[in-house]
Each structure stands twice: as C-alpha cells, then as structure tokens.
Amino acid sequence: MEIKMLDLTKIFVSKDKREVHAVDHVDLTIPSGKLIGLLGPSGCGKSTTLYLLAGLLRQTQGQIYFGEDEVSDMPPEKRGIGLVFQNYALYPHMTVRENILFPLENLKVEKEEAKKRTIEMAQLVGLGEMLDRKPKELSGGQQQRVAIARALVKKPRVLLLDEPLSNLDARLRLQTREEIKRIQRETKITTVFVTHDQEEAMSISDEIVVMKDGVIQQMGEPQHVYDHPQNLFVAQFLGTPQINVFNGVVKNKKIYVNDMFISKTTLEDQTVKVGVRPEGFIVDLEKKSEFKFEIDLVETIGRDTTLIIEVPGNEGGLLDKITFKAIVDASLKIKAGDWVHFNIKPEKMYLFDLEGKLLK
C-alpha cells in the first residue's frame, strides 16, 4: 500500500498563543511494501507525522492517501493501521493472548478465526510459547514483539512504529531490530519507522526520510543519502562520528581552510563550509600536504585509529566545535603530539554554502 502525503501541515498553538509548525507542507510518497525510516532530531515533527498518518492527530491542512483511498478525515480505527509505541503500550492486565486478540474483538472477527490469527501472529514474532503470560513477565524486547503482533494481527494496510527500540538495551535493540526487519520482509507491509537514531534508521530501512523543523530534508536509500547529503543538516545528522565541518574559502578554483590548501574545485570564489567525513582523511606520509595538525589524542579500536585534534579558538577554521576527528589506518602508529599532514578523499568531502545548501 502506497502512502501519499500532500501538502501535509500540522500547526500547534502553544500556551502563549504562538503557532508552531510541527509538520510543514510535507509532500511525501512512501512506496508500497517498503520499510521507511523517518529520521530526525527530537522535535523535528517525525512523531507528529506518524500520528497524522495514524489519525490520532488531525492535520491542519493537506491530504493523506493510502493507495487510492483518501484517509485524511478517517478516524484511526478505520484507516487500517497498526501502531507500535516506544513504551509498548500493552494492556498490563491482559495476557499476551488477550493483548493480541483485543483489536480483533473490536473488529468483531469471528472467534475461531481470531484465535487462529492470534496464534499465528505470536508465532510470527516468536512468542508462541508465551501466550498466557502477562506483559510484566516478559522482557522489554518480548513486550515490543507482542506490541508488533498486536499491531499486525488485524492485517493493517500500514504499520507505524514510533521509536519502537528506544526503551530497549543495546543487545535487545539489535535483536529486535533484526526481528522487525524480518517480520516486515515476511509480511511485506508498508512500514513507517520513526527514530532519532540514524544508525538504527540506516540499518533497518529500505529508504530513509530525514526531517527537520517539520520539513523533509532528503529522502532516499540510506547509503545514498549518506553519500550524497543534500544539505549540511543531513550530512551532519548521518554518520558516526559526525562529519567534520570547516569554514573555508574558494579562491581561484582552490579550497582553503585557514589558509591551508585542501583541494581543487570548479566553483567560483566564495566562502564555503567544508564537510569532511572522518573516514575521508588520508595521512600524507610524505608530509607534502599543507593541511596539517598536531594530534592531541589517539584512540585505537581494532583496525581503525581515531585521531582527535583540538583546535582551540577556532584557529583551524573549524565550524562550531573545538575538536575534529579523523579515522585512519591503525597500522600507521601515530602518537599524540605528532604533526600529521592530511589529504582528503574527494568523495568524502562536501562543500556547502553558508545556508548549508550543497554546492555541486
């Protein structure tokens, strides 16, 4: 089921009567059968978008289509959605079986059929043995799987997941992430997955949608968005460690950061922001490059070494921060206090204008 949002807008009026555009003129089409990660920092409007899709909030303007159906004015129960919450929202007084069965009772599904589907769902999420337990007798991951089963049991057209992994500890989070991916593949249900964790989104999603201030910044396959951010925000939001951003200038088709030559370019002379992914640095063993720094800290984990370079007082032309990081080969044996000359991999470097827009 394809989901289509047209000019979707949600305006909240805050207590001091200010209007907050939580979702701002969003036009978005989510292809059928895909798992979409809706990604952004908290307050970016991703959860609001999800609640608009679910019908729990009413849009200020715009339309929502599930396939050919316009659902803009439908109450949640009519939209055919399954919804999973961060805190699972299981009915604490009901057993797993009763929880999964609950939506079917409301839909007046015939009893035998409902029972059958409940068991199927429990098996799908791997909880076939735990049907008679109460939620509090389950681990967080198991509870979330119950919540997913409950969302799926009524065979929704769309599955909506609101930060479903945030309450789980790291190991369970990985497990459950895989589980969700598997279940989505098996059911082929169009799924929207809201998260603020870019790594999670990138690993689970067929496509990600990056949002900021109620506006969609970029949509695409995770690796593609990572490799081709359309603006500084997306570039900064995706990737760990974060992309390093320097204040630079283009002079005579050459890019300088703090008067150090970095790379050539085809752009006209202007002031730019230079984004370099940590893995985009190459140590120039011949020390020919002008782009050199004294290393403050070296962290080696496995085959990678992270060089941490402090640039106090912004003298390195570094944007926003006082340190930046470079990931290099561990075999290089660089120590703190060494001066290192860097070359930049061109495909890991992005130039943005001062508004953060990518310069091609």
Partner 1 sequence: MAEVFVKNEKSYKVQKIISNVLTFSFLGAIAIVVLVPFYWMILTSLKSSTMIESIPPILFLKPSQWQIWNYKALFEIVESGPRAGQPLFPFFTYMKNTIVISIITTIGTSITTILAAFAFARLNFKGRDIVFAIIIATMMIPGEIFILTNFLTINKLGWYDIMNQSYSDAIFAMTLPFMTSVFYTFYLRQTFKQIPNELYYAAKVDGTTDFKYLLKVMIPVAMPTIITIIILNSMGAWSAYIWPAMVTTKDQFRLVSNGLRGAFTDSGSGRTDYGQQMASAALVTAPLLVVFFVFRKQIMRGVSRSGIKG
Nearest approach in angstroms of CB 281 to partner 1 is 44
Q: Which is nearer to partner 1, 82 or 248 (CB)?
A: 82
Q: Which is nearer to partner 1, 106 or 123 (CB)?
A: 106
Q: Which is nearer to partner 1, 86 or 244 (CB)?
A: 86
Contacts to partner 1 by CB under 8 A: 51, 54-56, 75-77, 81-83, 85-87, 89, 91-94, 102-103, 106-107, 136, 147, 150-151, 154
Q: Which is nearer to partner 1, 36 or 104 (CB)?
A: 104
What values do phi and psi take at 36, rounded to 5?
-105, 130
Q: Determine the residue type at 194.
A: V
Nearest approach in angstroms of CB 137 to partner 1 is 12
Q: Which is nearer to partner 1, 87 or 247 (CB)?
A: 87
Nearest approach in angstroms of CB 109 to partner 1 is 11
Q: Which is nearer to partner 1, 79 or 277 (CB)?
A: 79
Write the CB contacts of 210 (distance below 8 Å, at least 6 apart in sequence). Answer: 39, 40, 216, 217, 218, 219, 225, 233, 234, 237, 238
Nearest approach in angstroms of CB 89 to partner 1 is 4
Q: Which is nearer to partner 1, 101 or 235 (CB)?
A: 101
Please return the burial class of 34, using the count of CB atoms within 10 Å of its CB with bins 0-12, 13-18 and 19+: middle
Number of neighbours of residue 168 by Cβ within 10 angstroms: 20
Write the CB contacts of 203 (distance below 8 Å, at least 6 apart in sequence). Answer: 177, 222
Q: Which is nearer to partner 1, 44 or 159 (CB)?
A: 159
Q: How far apart are CA 3 and CA 190, in angstroms?
A: 8
Nearest approach in angstroms of CB 65 to partner 1 is 19
Nearest approach in angstroms of CB 56 to partner 1 is 5
| β-bridge pairing 190-195 and 35-39 | parallel
Q: In whole angstroms, what separates CA 226 from the centre of its chain? A: 11
Nearest approach in angstroms of CB 29 to partner 1 is 23
Please work out, in degrees rounded to the nearest 5, the angle formed at the alpha carbon of residue 337 by the alpha carbons of 333 and 343: 65
Q: How far apart are CA 159 and CA 16, in angstroms?
A: 35
> Nearest-CA neighbor of 231 among 256, 203, 211?
211
Give, as one character, the DSSP assignment of residue 277: -
Nearest approach in angstroms of CB 121 to partner 1 is 14
Nearest approach in angstroms of CB 38 to partner 1 is 17
Q: How far apart are CA 346 and CA 349, in angstroms?
A: 5
Q: How far apart are CA 162 and CA 320, in angstroms?
A: 31
Angle between helices 111-124 and 140-152 (to 10 degrees): 140
Q: Which is nearer to partner 1, 37 or 135 (CB)?
A: 135
Strand intervals (E) in 149-280: 158-162, 190-195, 207-212, 215-220, 244-251, 254-257, 260-264, 270-276
